[in-house]
Amino acid sequence: MPTELERAMEILLCQFHKYACKEGKSNSLSRCELKKLMENELPTFLKSQKDPGAVDKIFKDLDCDGDGEVNFQEYLSLIGGLSLSCNQLYEMHLRQQNQQCKK
Ligand SMILES: [Ca+2]
């Protein structure tokens, strides 16, 4: 039976391939595929973006090799960046909880 972390990794790559196989290259995300993935799987993050061109900017930032597609390695930058932001919020929340406990 897979551990929670192994399951999380499986979900991460299955989600990527679920969208990557829709058009063009089957192992990378086109701009449209990335947009669909973010709309369906990261709706809260996407709604927090004030800029209507946010997906286009994110796509451009992720496409490091400039081939017009986002491969899994490039996609991991998005997941890593979002995870880092979530961790910062989580640590802030823990600090606030600790301060309240000490009062
Ligand atoms: Ca690329």
H-state helical runs in 1-103: 4-20, 31-41, 43-48, 54-62, 72-102
CB 70 within 8 A of CB 59: yes
Angle, in degrees to the nearest 10, between helices 4-20 and 31-41: 130
Helix (H) or strand (E) holding 28: strand 28-29
CA 32–ligand 1 middle distance (angstroms): 14
Query: Tokens in use for 48?
Result: 């927090």
Instruction: Going residue by residue through the chain, which has 103 residues, state the pLDDT in tens, using 9 for 90 and above.
Output: 999 999 999 999 999 999 999 998 999 999 999 999 999 999 999 999 889 899 999 999 999 999 999 999 999 999 999 999 999 999 999 999 999 888 7
| Domains in the chain: ranges and CATH | 4-102 (1.10.238.10)
Give the distance (Å) from ligand 1 centre to CA of residue 68: 6
Place of tokens 């909880």: 97
Is 0.85 surpassed by the pTM of this model?
yes
